[in-house]
Amino acid sequence: ADAALARLWESGLGNDPDSQYFAMDVDWLASDSRWAAGRVAEAVAFLHAAKDRYEAVVERRLDQPARLSPALLDRLAEPLFSLYKDMADRLGALGEVDLGLTTRRRLIEILRGLTGRLGDPARLHLTSALNDLAHDLLEYGRVDEADAAAGEAAAIAQVVEHGADANDDPARQTISRGTQAVMWTPLPSTASYA
């Protein structure tokens, strides 16, 4: 990871606007390796750098997904879920409760806007993000908010399970595509990278 970081800066790609996804991946790799080595503060700093690069590329365009071509929307949305989830998990593990919850809520806000264009993949990510938020809120003793997030996640999972289109009337969602909803209990943020 350190060699990749050094090569990134030696090549000048760290400041190249067309190479920001690559630079983001290198920062993310450096974060993951430092997290695994127990160098928590450095891990979060590199993940912040990766997230800042991502947000500079996206420039809040995901807030208006209808204005984007399908190919561009897919490319911009691809790292969103994993990057924000990692950031929220690591902030939570550090005890940065408010920053972690804010990051998760921002992810949820973006994913809600993407469900109309990206369909079930965005709904599955949204369900997972809501379950993660519910878990965090429950851990911090905010039971009512946790129940609301878990209830919304269950409702979205139901829509995915029955293969309903986002524009369908929920009362008529009876056709199944033969898939089962995947349910799991997320690991605590302190164990998710162990």
Residue 123 structure tokens:
């709904």
d(CA 58, CA 145): 30
pLDDT at residue number 177: 41
d(CA 59, CA 159): 30
CB 149 within 8 A of CB 130: yes
Residue 168 structure tokens:
């369908």
Burial of 77 (0-12, 13-18, 19+ CB in 10 A): buried
Query: Could you read off the pLDDT of 8-47 as tens digits, one per residue?
Result: 888 888 788 788 899 999 999 999 999 999 999 999 999 9
Query: Could you read off the pLDDT of 60-98 as tens digits, one per residue?
Result: 898 888 899 999 999 999 999 999 999 999 998 888 989
pLDDT at residue number 188: 72
In sequence order, which residues have a C-beta less than 8 Å from that of residue 88 and are 6 or more positions away?
A: 100, 101, 103, 104, 107, 132, 136
Residue 148, CA atoms < 13 Å, CB-side half-sphere: 5
The percent of residues above 90 in pLDDT, for the chain, comes to: 46
Query: Residue 93: which region, alpha, beta or left (left: phi > 0; alpha: psi -120 to 50)?
Result: alpha
pTM score, whole prediction: 0.77
Mean pLDDT of 152-163: 83
